[in-house]
Amino acid sequence: MKSESVKISPILKNISSAKNSTCFTVCWIKSTVATIEIDRTPYSNVSNTIFFLDPKFHWSISKKDNNGSSGYLLSLPRTLLNNPILSKLHINTVRVFSSGEIPLFKLSPTIEKRTQAILEMIDELLGSDLNHKDDAILALLKTFFVYCDGQCNIKSNLSNENAKANLVYKFKQLVNKYLFEHHDVTSYANLLHVSPRYLNECVQDILTVSAKAIIIEQLMMRSRHALKFSDKTLKEISFELGFSSPDYFSQFFKTHTGFAPSTLRKG
């Protein structure tokens, strides 16, 4: 990867897509802009949102004022998305860029802060002369896409005709909402009024992993964050995450990482 092929800029003024561009654009809108218009379709009242824009789309952003940045625009060449480090991510598998629809992700406040930090680091690195900066930028891009893959909803504007994709979208919403109460696939299947087998089939088809894997992924991500960035005791964390006991939480964590929760906290 050549860092010159990646471009990033804060959204400081009204801006439109470049003519004849062959690059994909990741548009992160932190604070509400007046509108973002994509192929003559306006989107308003948009904040903490990421748009993934194929070069075939013409887009323009109108700011409400010129006071500070409203987010970032990240321009990526097609060759970069084919990089082995990025190409196997689920977010690439569902081909958000090549969709006929406009892939739109709403971010939670916590993920919004991490997204901003990652994009700011990419911006800083691109303007530096540091050794190995290309490797660092690629690692940050992978982290950015992993957050989009694991924490954001699938596409907010999924077609009603795609029943399986809509079911998976609703499943991920429910996991985000009820993770601390339900760790089993059957509970979510009951909430969705489908069988556990059918729910798992839909998740497997859309995301290429099992429904249980999605639940575990969320539990592990929240466990790691709580262990590294909070002063809560192991007992407090285990009960907040919905485990019946600290011992059960420790066993679960060790099964999926190979080491005890206390090891991560010491690190």
Task: Dump pLDDT digits (tens) for 151-162.
Answer: 444 444 344 335
Task: Tell which wins on pLDDT, 157 or 121.
Answer: 121
| Predicted model pTM | 0.54
The CATH number for 202's domain is 1.10.10.60
Domain span at residue 59?
3-151
pLDDT of res. 172:
85
Q: Last residue of a domain, which of 151, 186, 216?
A: 151
Say whether pLDDT at 90 is over 80: no
Query: Do both 119 and 65 map to the same domain?
Result: yes
Q: Which of 89, 123, 151 is the last residue of a domain?
A: 151
Secondary structure (DSSP) of 143-187: HHHHHHHHHS-S-TT--TT-HHHHHHHHHHHHHHHHTTT--SHHH
What does the pLDDT average to over 160-175? 75
pLDDT band (50, 70, 90) for residue 182: very high
**204-225 burial by CB neighbour count: b if 16+ within 10 A, else e?**
eebbeeebeebbbbbbeebbee
What is the C-alpha end-to-end distance of the chain, expressed in Å? 31
Model pLDDT, residue 80 = 81
Torsions phi, psi of 127, nearest 5?
Answer: -95, 5
Pick the more confident residue, 109 or 111. Answer: 111
Cα separation, 14 vs 23, in Å, equals 20
Asked if 222 and 251 sit in the same domain, the reply is yes
7 shares its domain with 135: yes
CATH of the domain at 94: 2.60.120.280
User: What span, in angstroms and rounded, lies between the C-alpha atoms of 156 and 169?
Assistant: 8
Q: 141 and 13, same structural domain?
A: yes
pLDDT computed for residue 149 by the predictor? 63
For residue 188, pLDDT beyond 90: yes
- One domain for residues 108 and 174: no
Are 206 and 267 members of one domain? yes
Please report the pLDDT score of residue 106 as a whole number: 66
Q: What is the mean pLDDT of residues 144-156?
A: 59
* One domain for residues 189 and 216: yes
Do 165 and 263 belong to one domain? yes
pLDDT above 90 covers what percent of the chain?
Answer: 22
Domains in the chain: how many in total?
2
181: its two tokens: 């109460």
Summarised one tens digit per residue, pLDDT across range 37-54 is 887 777 777 777 888 787
Q: Which of 134, 151, 168 is the last residue of a domain?
A: 151
